[in-house]
Amino acid sequence: MQIKKWIRPTFGWIAVLAVGLQGAAQTAPATGNGNPGPMMITLADALKRAQRTNPEYRSAVTDYGLAREDRVQGRAAILPNVTYNNAFVYTQPNGTRSNLGAYIANNGVHEYISQGNAHQTVSLSSFADYRRSAAAEAVAKAKAEIAARGLVVTVVRSYYALVVAQRKYATEQRAVEEAERFLNISQKLEQGGEVAHSDVIKAQIQFQGTQRDYQESRLGMEQARLDLAVLIFSDFNENFSVVDDLQQPQALPEYTEVQTLAAQKNPQLRAAAEALRAAKYDVTSAWGGLLPSGSIDYFYGIDASHFATYQTDPTTGLRINNLGYSVVASLQVSIWSWGANRSRVKQADLRRDQAKVELSFAQRQLVGNLRSFYDEAETSRSELESLNRSAELADEGLRLTNLRYQAGEATVLEVVDAQNTLTAARNAYADGQARYRLAIATLQTLTGSF
């Protein structure tokens, strides 16, 4: 069944949409220069605006940025780092002719230190922490993608809620016109003695009911506009109009293609897998606390009684080079920690086991949601042609019923029922189109764009 068969609105239906869009534009406030024309917002525009203003999405993006910087810091922890130290140490003289410091740890009364230090730490924990931070970055990236796809569903729901509300507003406006026209016809027929006064009363009741529905539809349209404005505008701008593109439904691929996309591009599954990988490196890091770790420091510069690269020995008169280097290597072995290291290993094991359970659940949930979301999209798509045909038949049925009523072959109840049927059919068709768009957006949270 081709999509083109779905797009068969009657000329009357197109006219109703035009009236509704015109009415929606008139309800928008005027701009600062006096022009009533609101800005036109497409679905793509709404998505871009929502990405800049939605706090949940921005929070996920921020978390991804923080995780990326954590990975950078974790990588720096396993690589050599270089610092340059400058210090001056003054020590009280000991009162002897050698004029040494009172503290034996210091080399003299005046001690100048100016040297670079290259430091390298070697431990299993630091390497595992870096790998864990990389996995955590992948988790944050997947969650940011989940937030982005969820935001699409939110925007699509609010965007097409306004589109449908505008259509219903147009439909109710048309219903008011039809009810008023029928009321005039019944009054004229009563004056000619062709119908009873009860027909006029029924027409009046129908007309008043459509007026109330018209007011409710106007309220629903304004509420939908406000909901979308909160979502996409940082300055809460109500002076906008949306583009009605529901007549162009997106194609639904085969289920096998959807399965392939879900297996390759599902962010929930990727987040769970990366979380398990991070938990495994957490276990490795915890075990690193039980193993020896080492560090190496290389110093180059001066550590002398004068701030100079060389000096003269006052005793021998020889030139002494103050520049030099030293190397310090250390090895740390954990002997006793009151069970803290063992406790960290147990904690890491528990987190790893929980991550395994969550990954298994994510896999099962993906299979179930994929089938459910696809069935919803497929069902809503298959109903579109039927809903469109029902709206066309209801339009034709009202026209014929009005002619039969004027000819005395139909009752007032038939006319009222035809009017209500047309309104319900048009609203149901608009709801069906929005339902299919929302179903596609929901399915794409699992598969990505197709």
Angle in degrees, CA 251, 253, 254, rounded to 5: 145
pLDDT more than 70, % of the chain: 90
pLDDT tens digits, residue range 98-145? 666 666 677 778 889 999 999 999 999 999 999 999 999 999 999 999
DSSP letter at 99 equals -
Q: Which pLDDT tens digit goes with each residue over 172-186?
A: 999 999 999 999 999
Dig out the tokens for 57 from the structure. Answer: 């999405």
- CA–CA separation, 281 vs 275, rounded Å? 10
**Rounded Cα–Cα distance for residues 424 and 422 (Å):** 5
HSE-CB for 422 with a 13 A CA cutoff: 30
What is residue 7's predicted lDDT score, i.e. its pLDDT?
34
Is residue 95 pLDDT above 80, yes or no?
no
pLDDT value, residue 375? 97
Lowest mean pLDDT among 40-54, 59-73, 93-107, 227-241: 93-107
Token pair of 313, please?
């020995």
* CA atoms of 19 and 45, how far apart (whole Å): 24
User: For 221, what's the count of Cα atoms within 13 Å in the CB-facing half-sphere?
Assistant: 29
Least confident window among 28-32, 90-94, 278-282, 333-337 = 28-32
Instruction: Round the average pLDDT of the chain to a whole number and report it.
Output: 89
What pLDDT sits at residue 100? 67
Beta-strand pair 293-304/323-332: antiparallel
For residues 376 and 436, the answer to whether their CB atoms sit within 8 Å is: no
**160 is written with which tokens?**
């097409």
Confidence of residue 393 (pLDDT cuts 50, 70, 90): very high
User: Residue 252 pLDDT more than 90?
Assistant: yes
Inform me whether the pLDDT recorded for 237 exceeds 50. Answer: yes
User: What gap in Å lies between CA 138 and CA 148, rounded to an integer?
Assistant: 15
Provide CB contacts within 8 A for 235, sequence distance 6+. Answer: none
pLDDT for the residue numbered 103: 67
Q: How far from each other are the two terminal CA atoms of the chain, in whole angstroms?
A: 19
Quick: pLDDT tens for 328-385. Answer: 999 999 999 999 999 999 999 999 999 999 999 999 999 999 999 999 999 999 999 9
Strand partners, 297: 119, 328
Mean pLDDT of 391-407: 94
Q: Does the pLDDT value for residue 16 go beyond 70?
A: no
Residue 25 has pLDDT above 50, yes or no: no
Q: Which amino acid is at 287?
A: W
CA–CA separation, 45 and 150 (whole Å)? 17
pLDDT of residue 204 exceeding 90 = yes
207-214 contacts at long range (C-beta below 8 A, 24 or more positions apart): 207/176, 207/179, 207/180, 207/182, 207/183, 209/179, 210/172, 210/175, 210/176, 210/178, 210/179, 210/419, 210/423, 211/176, 211/179, 213/172, 213/175, 213/423, 214/169, 214/172, 214/173, 214/175, 214/176
Other C-beta atoms lying within 10 Å of the C-beta of residue 221: 25
Please tell me the distance from the alpha carbon of residue 232 to that of residue 42, in angstroms, as a whole number: 11
* pLDDT higher than threshold 50 for residue 4: no
* Look-up of token digits 């075990």: 287
Residue 2's pLDDT is: 37
Least confident segment among 14-18, 78-82, 385-389: 14-18
Q: Which of these, 431, 432, 322, 393, lies nearest to 12 by C-alpha position?
A: 393
Provide φ and ψ at 349, rounded to 5°. -65, -40
User: Where is average pLDDT lowest: 48-52, 203-207, 236-240, 297-301?
Assistant: 236-240
pLDDT greater than 50 at residue 90 = yes
Task: Report whether pLDDT(415) > 50.
Answer: yes
Q: In this structure, is the dihedral angle defined by the CA atoms of residues 98, 104, 107 and 108, taken in order, positive or negative?
A: negative
Return the percentage of the chain with pLDDT > 90, whole number.
76
Asked if the model's pLDDT at residue 11 lies above 70, the reply is: no
